[in-house]
Chains A and B, each alone.
Chain A
Amino acid sequence: MPREASPAEHALEARHISKYFGDHVALRNISLRVAGGDCVLLYGPNGAGKTTLLRVLASLARPDRGEVLLDGKKVRHDASSKFEIGFVSHASLLYGDLTVRENLRFTAHLFGLRHAEARINEALDLFAVRDRQAQLVRSLSRGLQQRVTLARALLHRPRFLLLDEPFTGLDAASAESLTSRLQHWTDKGIIFSTHSFEQGAAIARRLVVLEGGRLRYDGPFRHAPLAALGIRPSTEARGSKL
């Protein structure tokens, strides 16, 4: 992967995205730019369009209007952009009947990665699931599966990470480790959603608030008019129990 330019010059960008499901508006004219080094918390009530936006950015969903650009190039029909994006969704994207290692090997194969075994080991270590590598994914707990999913998303070393509720099911130690990882990946552009504002605020340097498919706020935390956005951080328990 060429890394000559400084991270901030790389950007994953949504331009005037609208997405409809029948007459329901999931996203309305959203523009968003995530540069390398950004760490963005995507926040909003249920049904605000967070998941849809992440799916559009990952080019899993086709927007009805607007387009997604990676480093200024359209993502659509551009297979090379897929190397740059790592995506974690509610679903694990793993085959229950394959072992952890087989799943990752399959992903490595799809991406045509060289030195696959070394990379798999690295990803497994990152999320402390190496000792589970021979187990069938079906037999893993939700939290362990989530860790494997994260390992899968990072396997091809993407420059942009789209994480939809990455903390779901993680125990305190894993959540802690993920938090510190997210804080330290300053070369990657990260955008993630979580239901706990506090937890997200501790990691992200930028806040994006969605509501009813509209962009309500995009900027640093300290300027955010939290009360106007209906966010009351003080009432939420610090570090949710999950």
Chain B
Amino acid sequence: MFVKDLRVEWRNRETLALMCVFGLLVVFLFNFTLETGREEALRGLPALLWVDFAFVGILGFNRSFAAERENACLEGLMLAPVDPGLLYLGKMLSNLVFLGVAEGIVVFAASLWYNFSFLPAFRSFFWIAFLGTVGYVAVGTVFGAIAANTRMREVMLPVLQFPVAVPVLIGGIEATGGALRGDAPSSYAWAVRLLVAFDVAFIVLSYLLFEYVLEE
């Protein structure tokens, strides 16, 4: 229903472009700071990717609600007989797509620049990235909406988002590391379970709480 966000984005492509470029820059900068042997770079790769996703996500969530605030479109949504929970799901979905696209590009660049192939473990890597991103977006969408109400919202969002996203980052980094090293899935299954539990809990929680975020 709310995937109309995609059309807005398709029109100006600003947010997506911003997210992708920023994501690439972070990979690029890490490349300099970690200017080391391949082995070492590979050990840091999962962490690098997730930190990059986290930054890119923040950028996207801020933009996502900035767009709704322009011309008070958020009020337009509240005037309509639509469940706030559904608005949340729609917003979350579009954020998920944007972050997903940006992540794809970042992963491609990382694989190129670090000369590392994701292909052997691609399927498990994909699902782990997906689960982690869902959790991150689930939280980020709510906090983006909250931060949009504050002065200095660009600063406020990371302050809210990062502490709460710690489980996602830990789970994501561990599971990704395990998958890319080719460990037995059972050795990082706990991280995947954690991601799933986090996703479910925060989607449900946000679905219920979003009404309070929107009201005035």
Determine whether A and B are in direct contact in the complex, meaning some CB atoms lie less than 8 angstroms apart: yes
Contact A110-B82, Cβ < 8 Å, known A97-B8, A97-B12: yes
Categorize the interface residue count of chain B: 20 to 34
A110 to B83, CA, bound (A): 10
Does A5 belong to the interface (CB within 8 Å)? no
Does A106 belong to the interface (CB within 8 Å)? yes
Contact between chains at B215 and A98 (CB < 8 Å): no
A82 to B77, CA, bound (A): 11
Does A80 belong to the interface (CB within 8 Å)? yes
Contact between chains at B71 and A95 (CB < 8 Å): yes
- Chain A hits for B76, CB < 8 A: 93-94, 107, 152
Besides the known contacts A82-B81, A109-B1, 10 further A-B residue pairs in the complex with CB atoms under 8 A apart = A83-B81, A87-B79, A91-B71, A93-B73, A94-B76, A95-B67, A97-B8, A107-B76, A109-B4, A110-B81
Binary per-residue interface labels of chain B (2-35) against chain A in the complex, 1 for a CB within 8 Å, 0 otherwise:
0010011001100000000000000000000000
Contact between chains at B79 and A85 (CB < 8 Å): yes
A125 to B192, CA, bound (A): 55
Contact A60-B83, Cβ < 8 Å, known A97-B8, A97-B12: no
Contact between chains at A97 and B11 (CB < 8 Å): yes
- Chain B hits for A61, CB < 8 A: 216
Task: Kindly identify which residue among A96, A98, A106, A111 contacts B81, using a CB–CB cutoff of 8 Å.
Answer: A111
Contact between chains at A60 and B81 (CB < 8 Å): no
**A-B residue pairs, 3 tightest by C-beta:** A91-B72, A93-B76, A110-B80
- Chain A hits for B11, CB < 8 A: 97-98, 136
- Chain B hits for A87, CB < 8 A: 79
Does B40 belong to the interface (CB within 8 Å)? no
How many whole Å from B149's CB to the nearest CB in chain A? Answer: 14
Most buried by B among A89, A92, A95: A95
- Chain A hits for B215, CB < 8 A: 62
Contact between chains at A96 and B70 (CB < 8 Å): yes
Contact A102-B7, Cβ < 8 Å, known A61-B216, A94-B71: yes
Task: Kindly identify which residue among B12, B70, B75 contacts A60, using a CB–CB cutoff of 8 Å.
Answer: B75
Q: Which residues of B contact A (CB under 8 A)?
A: 1, 4, 7-8, 11-12, 67, 70-73, 75-83, 215-216
Contact between chains at B79 and A91 (CB < 8 Å): no
A61 to B72, CA, bound (A): 13
Task: Kindly identify which residue among B1, B7, B71, B78 contacts A96, using a CB–CB cutoff of 8 Å.
Answer: B71
How many whole Å from A27's CB to the nearest CB in chain B? Answer: 14
How many whole Å from B158's CB to the nearest CB in chain A? Answer: 26
Contact between chains at A91 and B75 (CB < 8 Å): yes
How many whole Å from A222's CB to the nearest CB in chain B? Answer: 35
Contact between chains at A98 and B7 (CB < 8 Å): yes
Q: Which residues of A contact B (CB under 8 A)?
A: 55, 58, 60-62, 79-80, 82-83, 85, 87, 89, 91-98, 102, 106-107, 109-112, 136, 152
Contact between chains at A107 and B80 (CB < 8 Å): yes
How many whole Å from A12's CB to the nearest CB in chain B? Answer: 14
19 A–B contacts, CB within 8 A, in A order = A60-B75, A60-B216, A79-B82, A79-B83, A82-B80, A85-B79, A92-B71, A93-B71, A93-B72, A93-B79, A94-B71, A95-B67, A95-B73, A97-B67, A107-B76, A107-B80, A110-B80, A111-B80, A111-B81
Contact between chains at B75 and A106 (CB < 8 Å): no
How many whole Å from A115's CB to the nearest CB in chain B? Answer: 17
Determine the residue in chain A with the shortest Cβ distance to B70: A96
Contact between chains at A89 and B1 (CB < 8 Å): no
How many whole Å from A50's CB to the nearest CB in chain B? Answer: 16
- Chain A hits for B80, CB < 8 A: 82, 107, 110-111
How many whole Å from B60's CB to the nearest CB in chain A? Answer: 16
- Chain A hits for B7, CB < 8 A: 98, 102
- Chain B hits for A91, CB < 8 A: 71-72, 75
Determine the residue in chain A with the shortest Cβ distance to B9: A97
Determine the residue in chain A with the shortest Cβ distance to B79: A87
Contact between chains at A110 and B77 (CB < 8 Å): yes
A149 to B79, CA, bound (A): 13
- Chain A hits for B72, CB < 8 A: 89, 91-93
